[in-house]
Amino acid sequence: MATEVIQWLLQSDEPWTRYRTLVDLLDRPEEDAEVQAARTEMLAHHQVQNLVTEASAWPGGPLKRHNDASHPLYAFSTLADFGVRKDDPGMAPAIEAVLAHQSEEGAFQTVVNIPKAFGGTGEDTWTWILCDAPTLLYSLAAMGLADDQRVRQAVKHLAELVDGNGWRCVAAPELGKFRGPGRKSDPCPIVNVYALKALAQVPDLLDSPGARTGAEMLLWHWEHQGERKIYMFGIGTDFRKLKYPFVWYNVLHVVDVLSRFPFVRADKRLGEMVETITAQADDEGRYTANSMYLAWKGWSFADKKNPSPWLTFLVLRILRRMAIRT
């Protein structure tokens, strides 16, 4: 891995990037003085503090579309990506607010508003759909609650929902016949990404049948990308753009998730996806966003003009997991 790029990350003014670079790329222990300093600076940083405030406002307004990057759901998941934990300042109220709403089935709930035209009631409702519940589950598990009985129940529920061709568009029983567009028997690509990301937080499930089925669904989709869209998820120009936070279906999100599973790292199809990413590096091995969420303007990964330390870190971590030299 190029020493110059690592040094650039370590000199970044983003403490979350420095923290994760030290831990994930350089294998520094959490007790290391430099790691602790970066982590302390991260938690005190005004942008991270703003995310904590957003998460603490849970549930915020109703989730009306699942790629709404401004929703507190993605403040949660981004904090989890950075390495914020349950006992960090300000996180307890946010986490308790999520834990307070768990369905009888096990999934954690969100306030959603599904218009009548799409099979909903048109009213704000505490419920769950598989394109939001796994993101909450990932966040809770990554923040250190993987062994909490409530989280374990949610993991069991999610794992049991996988079908023969992956996770499909499944929603809470009270939503009746509601489901996303597309064929009822189709798997939903983004649900498989979210579900795998949550299961990856549970070591015992890293090589489970469900994980293998979900991974194969995503790899199959890449392999057959020119044949048919599944739901609204195509694999074209937009899919190949580097974009963060991990809100929707794009190559960096898919590869980041799949690379967490050792059994898939040698798969040729995953290698092709990685090459789609690495072809976008600049001459110094750095990466720049070529798509952005306006709600995240002001973060380096929402800047299409300059290389992003965080995006570059994410790619280097993928390459390290897959033992690919740069």
Between these two residues, 85 and 168, which has the higher pLDDT value?
85
Q: Is the peptide bond before 245 cis (omega within 30 degrees of 0)?
A: yes
Task: Please state, in angstroms and rounded to a whole number, the distance separating the CA atoms of residues 197 and 186.
Answer: 20
Q: Global pTM? A: 0.95
- The crossing angle, in degrees rounded to 10, of helices 209-223 and 251-258 is 150
Sign (positive/negative) of CA torsion 108, 112, 115, 120?
Answer: positive
19: exposed, middle or buried (Cβ count in 10 Å: 0-12, 13-18, 19+): buried
- Are the C-beta atoms of 296 and 245 separated by less than 8 Å? yes
pLDDT digits (tens, 9 = 90+) for 77-120: 999 999 999 999 999 999 999 999 999 999 999 998 777 766 66
Residue ranges covered by each domain of the chain:
1-44+236-326, 54-201
Cα atoms found within 13 Å of the Cα of residue 36, Cβ hemisphere only = 4
Q: Sorting pLDDT into bands at 50, 70 and 90, what band is 324?
A: confident
